[in-house]
Amino acid sequence: MQSSVIYRASDLSPEERRAAEILLGHGLEENELVSVRASKGQLIKEAVTGQAREEAFLKLFERIDTTAKRSEGVSEEEVNEAIDEAVDYVRHNPG
């Protein structure tokens, strides 16, 4: 069984916030969201740590920034419509 929740950092109690910060390895900003997921099973691969983890996050944030720049001026509604269209296409045109 899998369960997950999403919290606003600003809504966490001091104890919850500290626990999240310990697990994440850094402090939280008030406007951040925290997602917690639990599931049974085994890890397929251990998460990277140290410098490799930092580099992975930098690449992720660079990709997010690039995508954000490409979508400047596009409304959220248009983005959602494009996603829906792409999902519909993939569902009806497998492989």
Render pLDDT for 14-28 as a digit per residue (tens, 0 to 9). Answer: 999 999 999 998 999
Dihedral sign computed on CA atoms, order 8, 61, 36, 87: positive
Confidence grade of residue 43 (pLDDT, cut at 50, 70, 90): confident
Count up the domains in the chain and report the number: 2
* Whether 34 and 53 share a structural domain: no
On whether both 58 and 94 belong to a single domain, the answer is yes
Contacts of 8 (CB under 8 A, 6+ apart): 31, 32, 33, 34
Same domain, 60 and 85: yes
**Any residues with CB less than 8 A from the CB of 68 and at least 6 apart, and which?**
none
Residue 35: CB atoms within 10 A of its CB come to 9
pLDDT tens digit sequence for 44-56: 788 888 999 999 9
Q: Is there a contact between 30 and 10 (Cβ–Cβ < 8 Å)?
A: yes
66 and 27 within one domain: no
- Tell me: do 57 and 95 sit in the same domain: yes
pTM of the model: 0.44
